[in-house]
Each structure stands twice: as structure tokens, then as C-alpha cells.
Amino acid sequence: MAKPMTMTEKIIAAHAGRDHVNPGDNVWVGVDVLMTHDVCGPGTIGIFKERFGQNAKVWDKDRVVIIPDHYIFTAEDKCHRNIQILRDFVREQGLKYYYDPDFVTSEPGMPNPYKDPTKTSYKGVCHKALPEEGHVRPGEILLGTDSHSCTAGAFGQLASGVGNTDAAFVLGTGKTWLKVPPTMKFTFRGQIPPYLTAKDLILAVIGEISVSGGTYKTMYFAGDGVSSLTLEDRMTLTNMVIEAGGKNGVCDVDEKTLQYVRARSNVDHWTVYKDDPGCAYDCEYEWDLGTLEPLVAKPYSPDNKDTAHNCRDVKIDRAYIGSCTGGKITDMIFAANLLSGHTVKIPTYVVPGSTEVHADMLRLNIQGQAKQEGEKSIYQVLEDAGCLISASSCAACLGGPMDTFGRLNEPMACISTTNRNFPGRMGHKDAGVYLASPLTAAATALTGYVTDPREYVSEPIATGSAGVL
């Protein structure tokens, strides 16, 4: 009988044309989708042309996805120039999937954002846009020139971040070499309680294994606790595996996954892999969701874990809700339910993770249902609570140009639903970032101190089919 394999081992074996692989094997694999954006695209294109020639063609124009998202709302002319480099490449190569910020023109200065999020080719943050636009499916290999490309593993595929050279190599050949990672298994038992989101779960994991505990490894999230999460919340788990050094993160494929993929995928076939009984794990951890508390990661490391409750005396100057990690529509629903009818005490910046999220914030009520006449939208609830809301982009999650919305341009304490809090990540080197769930960030916005959301939330927050259909 064949030796049992994990999901990730099976995906690599299938893409390497082998029956079997073992952790540690180096293999060449075919890549299904390659994604790049405005920060790493120009460098990748440069290496591609240098190595394959000025007139070279990409290996498959339907498998290259370009999603500008990082430096969109800035007056810096080099950023606009970089978008133009992407446009020229897309035209020259005849690429099928490009999501242009059509409001960025040759005019100097800060671009005027899209007026209607449903009427622009721009999509916003790549990791949110990839599944929305149908580029994510079980069983495939997706590489992106962004470390958070691992997000797509929530859909039961192998997704990982690469640099420009690797991406340029894939552009020309459709292939890359991978070392087969061993799999770490993280099991969550029970149903997710109303005061927790997946952000608390992944902060618990990173706090346990450290920012390097997953280095070179697959992080597999299992158990009924993970099944109880929405797809968007599973994306929060896999999104942050890179913060533990993980190569990729995966969740099992279930009916929720298939419902999403059937509705969205632009390819109509895929293969569902699951771990064989008896397959080998590098290590196993288990949590009972009933005993987990709302967590934060204190400055200056995502593994600097503490409970929100323990940090209740920490004064916070700003709240930030956004990014591929914490700017999805369900994150907005969580925050809006908590903020509804209240007023924030500190400046609270909200950045939709995609133009679809932005549109849904306008279209849905805080139960995730289409809002009825006289009902407030998620957007209105957040605006009425005093939040400052911008157009979708990566914005201040990674600091970016000095004029970026929400950027921490001076030393201050910020609570944020984003993914990293290393020195200078959101701007100023001396600014301290507390990573937290959208519930904890919203509760903190109401008090100006790190606040355990259990002070505000006791009933489950419904999200309907928001973020799925």
C-alpha cells in the first residue's frame, strides 16, 4: 500500500508528476497561477525580460494574474509609473486577468478614488481579490510575489509567496522548484464563540510556536473549530502562517469551500485532496475554543502574545481596521456590530480589503443581509460611529509612501487588524502596533485602551452569506 501523504504532499506530487513525495525532497513542479502586483511586478517584469528576452512571451497568458493594490492612493509619481509598467506589460502580453486602477491617470498628484466600487476594474488587495475573481481552487499551486499569498491555502490549495526572480522564472517556464515541507497540525475543538474571530486563533498559534516556529513547514488547521469558521475567517488563519515563517497554510475542503469555489472559479474543474489517515505530522497542537481568550500581539513581534484583558491599561492612540488579514466583509461586520450605536474615542481608520468588500459595506446591513429600506448599511454604521473610511488598498498595513491613508507618521500606539508589528511596519519606527481581531480593535476604539471585546459582545454575530456569494 502507498505510504500515507498529507494534502500538501499530494498536491506537490501531482504537480511534479510523481506518485509520492517525502518532506525534504526537492522537486520541480508546474504552477497553476502566478500573481504579482504593483510593488513587485516591475522588478519581476525586468528580470523576465533580461533573462528571456525583450520579446519573450509568458508561459500562459491565462495563468498570470496582475492585481495592483499596494501604492495606489499616493501622489508619488514613481508609484503611478509602476502601474503604467504593469499596464504596458499586460497589453504587450495579452494577459487575460488584470485589474486596473482605472482612476489612476497620467495627471500628477493624489488620484481621485473610484466613485462606485462596483463600476471600476480595480479590485483592491490581491489576496482578497484572488478568490473573489475566481483564481483560487482546491488542489492547485498558486504563487505570488507577496508573502501573504499563503492566504489562498484556506481553499485547500498550495499557495506561497516568492520573490521577483522566482516569479520571473515562473513567468517564462511555468515551473519552480519546491522543497516538500513537513506538515504541522493545529486542531481547534468546539464552535467559535461570539467574542473570538480567527485572528485570535492564529495569534494563539504564532504566540505558541514563535515567529520562526513554522519555518519551511506547512501549517494545517483542522478540527470542528475550523469547520465552524466562514471561508473569510479561514483565510485569516492561512494569511498569517507567514508570520510564523510557514511555507504554506491549508484548511480542509468542505461544503463551504465548494460553495464558494463553484460560485466564483473561472476554471470548472479542480481536485480535492485531503490528508491520508496515518500520514506523518511534524508535530501536533490542539486548542479548545471554549478556553481561548481574545488576544493581542504586542509590539514589536507577532508572537508577543498577551490577552486583551491583561493589556487593559495600555493606552491606544489609533485603531486601524483593514488589509488582507482584517479588511474582509466579515471583519467589517464584526467591527460594525460592536460599534453600532456608539462613538469611537480615538481616530479609527477603516480600509476595505477589496472593492467588493467596499460595495458590500454599502449594500449589506450588519447582519450581512441585503439592507432594507430605512436600515443602515455597514458603511453607515461605521461612519456614524466616527470611523474614517477610505477606498480599498493595502494602505497603512505596510506603511507605504508618506501620504498613505492611516500611516503612522509619528510615534504612537495603534491597535490594528493587520498582520505584522515589527518596528516601522506601519510607518514610524517608534510606533507600537498591537495586532488584534476586528472585535478587539473595535472595542479598543470605543475606550482608547486595549479592551477585551467580551465587554461588548455576548451574542453570536451573524454574517449571513457575506463574503461568499
Partner 1 sequence: MPAVIKGKAFVLGDDIDTDQIIPAQYLSYNPADPEERKYFGMYAMVGVPAAQSGLPKGDMRFVPEGQFTSPYTIVIGGRNFGCGSSREHAPLALAEAGAKAVVAEFYARIFYRNCVNGGYVLPCQCPKRLVDEISTGDECELDIEANTLTNHSTGKQYPLDPLGDAKPIIDAGGIFDYAAKAGMLKT
- Dist CA 171 CA 109 (whole Å): 33
C-alpha distances (whole Å) from 185 to each of 245, 335, 355, 426 are 15, 30, 34, 31
- Report the alpha-carbon distance of residue 194 to residue 175 in Å, rounded: 43
CA gyration radius, the chain: 21
Q: Which is nearer to partner 1, 230 or 418 (CB)?
A: 418
Residues 152-171 touching partner 1, rule: CB under 8 A, are 161-166, 169
Pattern of binders to partner 1 over 36-75, x per CB under 8 A? Answer: ---xx-xx-xxx-xxxxx----------------xx----
- Is residue 69 within 8 Å of residue 126, measured between CB atoms? yes
- Indicate whether 89 belongs to the interface with partner 1 (CB under 8 A): no
Closest CB to partner 1 among residues 215, 458: 215
- Which CB sits closer to partner 1, 156 or 400? 400
Q: How many other CB atoms are found less than 10 A from the CB of residue 268?
A: 8
Of 412, 382, 384, nearest in space to 396 by CA: 412
Nearer to partner 1 by Cβ, of 93 and 330: the residue is 93
Cβ closer to partner 1: 285 or 300? 300
Judged by CB under 8 A, does residue 218 bind partner 1?
Answer: no
**Residues 6 or more apart in contact with residue 199 via CB below 8 angstroms:** 236, 325, 326, 417, 435, 436, 437, 438, 440
Question: Binding segment for partner 1 among 4-12, 79-87, 257-265, 441-449 (CB under 8 A)?
Answer: 79-87
Q: Does 257 bind partner 1 (CB under 8 A)?
A: no
Bridge-based pairing state of the strands 26-30 and 175-179: antiparallel
Q: Would you count residue 299 as binding partner 1 (CB under 8 A)? A: no
What is the sign of the dihedral through the CA atoms of 195, 196, 199 and 202?
Answer: positive
Minimum CB separation of residue 67 from partner 1 in Å reads: 15
Measured over the CA atoms of residue 456, residue 459, residue 465 and residue 468, the dihedral's sign is positive
Q: Is 467 in the site for partner 1 (CB under 8 A)?
A: no
Applying CB under 8 A, which part among 86-94, 122-130, 173-181, 434-442 lies near partner 1? 173-181
Q: Rule CB under 8 A: is residue 202 a binding residue for partner 1?
A: no
Buried b (16+ CB within 10 A) or exposed e, 140-176: bbbbbbbbbbbbbbbbbbbbbbbebebbbbbbbebeb
The C-alpha atoms of residue 133 and residue 130 are separated, in whole angstroms, by 5
Closer residue to partner 1 in complex, CB, 348/404: 404
CA distances from 89 to 36, 84, 122, 172 (A): 12, 9, 17, 14
Among 9, 69, 140, 146, binds partner 1 (CB under 8 A): 146
User: Interhelix angle for 231-239 vs 255-264, to 10°?
Assistant: 100
Residues 221-240 within binding reach of partner 1 (CB under 8 A): none
Q: Is 301 in the site for partner 1 (CB under 8 A)?
A: yes
Among residues 85 and 258, whose Cβ is nearest to partner 1?
A: 85
Which of 8, 15, 66, 82 is close enough to bind partner 1 by CB under 8 A?
82
Residues 407-446 that bind partner 1 (CB under 8 A): 420, 422-425, 429-430
Does 112 bind partner 1 (CB under 8 A)? Our answer is: no
Report DSSP letters for 10-62, one per residue.
HHHHHHHT-S---TT-EEEEE-SEEEE-TTTHHHHHHHHHHHH-TT---S-TT
Residue 188 CB, shortest distance to partner 1, in Å, is 25
Q: Which is nearer to partner 1, 208 or 384 (CB)?
A: 208
Q: Per CB under 8 A, does 287 bind partner 1?
A: no
- Is residue 23 near partner 1 by the rule CB under 8 A? no
Cβ(429)–Cβ(299) under 8 Å?
Answer: no
Nearer to partner 1, 46 or 460 (CB): 46
Residue among 395 and 445 whose Cβ is closer to partner 1 = 395
Residue with cell 452569506: 465
User: Contact region for partner 1 (CB under 8 A) — 104-112, 267-275, 397-405, 410-418?
Assistant: 397-405
Binding interface with partner 1 (CB under 8 A): 26, 28, 39-40, 42-43, 45-47, 49-53, 70-71, 76, 78-79, 81-82, 85, 144-147, 149, 161-166, 169, 172-173, 175, 177, 179, 211-212, 215-216, 242, 245, 247, 301, 398-402, 420, 422-425, 429-430
